[in-house]
Amino acid sequence: MRLTSNSFRDGGTIPARCAFALRDPRRHVRLAANRNPHLAWTGAPPATRSFVLICTDIDAPTRPDDVNKEGREVSAALPRADFIHWVVVDIPAGRCALEEGACSQGVAAKGKRDPAGPEGARQGLNDYTGWFKGDPAMEGAYLGYDGPCPPWNDARVHHYRFELFATDLDKCPVKDGFAAKDVRKAIEGHVLAHARLSGRYSLNPRLRPADTPLKLMRKPARARGRKPTYKVGAT
């Protein structure tokens, strides 16, 4: 089974329009379009009854000490943990794609009440639910897709892993309000095939801009014998 996207290439940069936040030169960050990326898949086993989709940031800092603090930077050497951005179950077996923006458009303060998605599918809680706990303006149950928003001072570019599971389940045995960990446990022994797609994103102005393709940043080597260089932090 193969998972692809028209929004970004495997291992490439997730566009800012598919993120929760983008860079702002005055305030560090501002809210972005928060569109779910396009995803398409092929090669599912004939016995597939439904699909499960999980999106995970595998580079979330394990300590908040330096996160988004002026004059400080989150060390690239800091141990990392998972942060869930999207979990969907019961995607019909006849479905082979999700269009960009079909499941999420814009940031909803306090979370989406009833996120759009494939008919019959159910969407679980992402980890912004815990991240915004205690914030009067943003606290709530964050269902469905909410895109990348890594610390603007993180020295590490974050990697986002989209995983698609073909299962033999007509309905995933999880209750509404489920989390990714509940789903992973529920589909044990029921996965027929698995596909993965990864993207990168950063809000740190010291790093290469998250939405600028590397090929556009290449500078010609005009001097004889010089190798091409790459401008870090170009806008």
7-21 pLDDT, tens digit per residue, is: 999 999 999 999 999
Q: Phi-psi bin for 34: left (phi > 0), alpha (psi -120 to 50), beta?
A: left
* Domain ranges, residue 163: 2-230
Position 85 scores a pLDDT of: 98
Task: For residue 13, tell me if it sits in a domain.
Answer: yes
Q: Which residues are registered as beta bridge partners of 143? A: 125
Task: For residue 15, tell me if it sits in a domain.
Answer: yes
186: domain CATH number is 3.90.280.10
Task: For residue 235, tell me if it sits in a domain.
Answer: no
Going through 121-190 in order, the beta strands assigned E by DSSP cover: 122-123, 158-167
Task: For residue 189, tell me if it sits in a domain.
Answer: yes
Pair 110, 140: CB distance under 8 Å: yes
Task: For residue 37, tell me if it sits in a domain.
Answer: yes
Position 132 scores a pLDDT of: 97
Q: Name the pTM for this structure.
A: 0.88
How many domains is the chain partitioned into structurally?
1
Can you tell me the mean pLDDT for 183-189? 98
Task: For residue 52, tell me if it sits in a domain.
Answer: yes
Pair 57, 150: CB distance under 8 Å: yes
Task: For residue 153, tell me if it sits in a domain.
Answer: yes
Is pLDDT at 161 greater than 80 in this prediction?
yes
Task: For residue 139, tell me if it sits in a domain.
Answer: yes
